[in-house]
Amino acid sequence: MGRIEKGAVRLISVLLIIISVTGISFIWTRQGTDLMARYRLKSKNGSLMKYIGRENKHENAITSLHSLCIRLPKSLSQSAVSIKSDSRFKEYHITIPSVSSSYFADYPVSGNGRSIKSLKYQMSGRGAVLTLTTTKPLFIKKSSDSSYLFFDFKEPRKCFDKVVLVDAGHGGSDRGTVAGGVSEKDISLSIVKYFKHFTDKKAVTEVKEYGTNLTSMKIKGVGKVGFFYTRLSDKTISDKDRIEEAKKIGADLFLSVETGSTASGRESEINGAQVLYRGSDKTSRSRKFADTVLKKLLSGLKCEDRGSIAGDEHYIVSASKIPVAIAEVGFITNKAERKKLVTADYQKKAAKALVEAVSEYLSDSGHKSSRKS
């Protein structure tokens, strides 16, 4: 090997050592590339090292305080950047309009990366779209200064005084009871959508940016209450996933909406509303919640009273560690009641009664929660 070749080998070896020690990674920012791959995590504090260290110490001091920072071109205002979340608050799409394909090369993202699992981008006709996933359901909060947009995350339960999970029973491949050509899953979904409509009308403005799967309203004596929904479309969700959802969002209350039916699914004269609760709940909170729901349904629907019933044989009842009620708002296997169940008028009345029941139960269950931070 000649002198020149040996010198080249030494130079390459030195460069490889420098790259290895400093953690610099020469990766082009291609569409669909995970932007987190451009950084190496510091083992001590979990902050992200900047690729090629473009920013000065002052800027690093600012950006290290936030999960994600985007340095915006002067021609773009922070209000032009939009955020959308998925129904589980684990994936967010941040749209930065009217920027070129070299945007992330000119304005690299930075931040400490806390709670971010992955971060990718794609160019579209609208501009650049950042897609980030989080390690668990979290709310994204946007703030800014003269140069940066900052994105930080907060657990849902810390944003509200109380959290309620509202569930449309069955869904997708699980049609529930089918009678007279009517599926239980469709009635449940319609009522929950009306429930959301009524809470939307009283929604607290600042939570609207978090996505369509959430509403919030203030209840006297309780404070700000966040309502989350297991489904707002026709999709399959297992009962286990429903319970996990309640745990992940830190729910205080679990309300599921279904219809009643005979055990055989055959037509019957049995009719009316009934509510299932967890009989093994030694605090009796589940029973109290069920009684409140039943009272409001009877008042709003003017239907037969079939009572509050221990329903521990149902998984979402027995597995729930919080007050739970399955509101069966009428019997789908009763021809006369089924005709009512499919009408918008009946569904709206049921939804309104359920909103009132949740409000009354929370108001009567004690003082305002102090867990919000």
Is residue 46 domain-shared with residue 97, that is, in the same domain? yes
State the total domains in the chain: 2
Is residue 248 domain-shared with residue 124, that is, in the same domain? no
Where is the domain boundary, 117, 133, 154? 154
Strand pairing category for 223-229 and 162-168: parallel
pLDDT tens for each residue of 59-114: 556 667 888 888 887 778 888 888 888 767 788 888 888 887 777 777 777 777 78
Is residue 204 domain-shared with residue 63, that is, in the same domain? no
Helix boundaries (H) for the chain: 3-22, 57-63, 103-106, 184-200, 239-249, 285-301, 315-318, 335-341, 344-364
pLDDT tens for each residue of 210-263: 555 788 888 989 999 999 999 999 999 999 999 999 998 899 999 999 999 999
DSSP state letter for 243: H
Where is the domain boundary, 129, 154, 179? 154
In a domain, 20, yes or no: no
Where is the domain boundary, 90, 122, 154? 154
Separation of alpha carbons 303 and 239, rounded Å = 28
Give the pLDDT confidence score for residue 60 in this predicted structure: 59
Is residue 204 domain-shared with residue 186, that is, in the same domain? yes
Residue 66: CB atoms within 10 Å: 21
In angstroms, the first-to-last Cα distance of the chain is 67
**Residue 50 pLDDT exceeds 50:** no
Concatenated DSSP letters of 310-357: E-TTSHHHHS-SS-EEEEEEEETTSHHHHHHHTSHHHHHHHHHHHHHH
Domain enclosing residue 111, as ranges: 25-154
37: burial class by Cβ within 10 Å (0-12, 13-18, 19+)? middle
Is residue 247 domain-shared with residue 352, that is, in the same domain? yes
Place of tokens 């069966």: 328
Residue 349: CB atoms within 10 Å: 21
Is residue 224 domain-shared with residue 266, that is, in the same domain? yes
Is residue 144 domain-shared with residue 174, that is, in the same domain? no
Q: Phi and psi of 309, rounded to 5°?
A: -130, 135
- For the chain, the average pLDDT equals 81
Predicted TM-score (pTM) of this structure: 0.74
Number of helices (H), then strands (E), in the chain: 9, 16
